[in-house]
Amino acid sequence: MELSEILQPEAIKVFSKLTSKKRLFQDLGEVASACYGLELNSAINALQERESLGPTGVGHGVALPHARIEGLDRVVGAFLRLETPLDFDAVDRQPVDLVFALFAPAESGVDHLKALALVSRTMRNADTCTKLRSNTDAATLHAILTSAPATKAA
């Protein structure tokens, strides 16, 4: 599995400022709906339900919200770069500016976990995050993510 299989270039957006985690989930749902045909409210509700189990802010300005969705046939992703970091209740209490969301089929099991591990490895790479924070062009961000050293699954 590679990030290029999960993340379409159109599923990458840059936002100057979001006011809340709820608004962030709304925007992620809109991206997923437009790019992958997900039902908007289902995507938003699934992200909020998963977040209620515990924050998906993994530290160092990165959040990895993820959810399982009925009717989805494969794992898909959306990436948001926030120009103004957002409080996300991250484990290190730092605000988040890089958000990689995953949407997986309800019964995906191993594929969901593999995709989450892949995204996690990629977003733990400090050089990759520095490059992402230095760019605002969606095509450039897609190229950085899909060519990052950690993008191949073990």
Active site residue ranges? 66
SS3 percent helix, strand, coil of the chain, rounded to 5, is: 45, 20, 30
* Residue for token pair 């100057």: 16
Q: Centre a 10 Å sphere on the Cβ of residue 17 and count the other Cβ atoms it contains.
A: 10
Nearest to 77 by CA among 8, 144, 15, 149: 8
β-strands 76-86, 62-63: how paired? unpaired
Strand partners, 59: 62
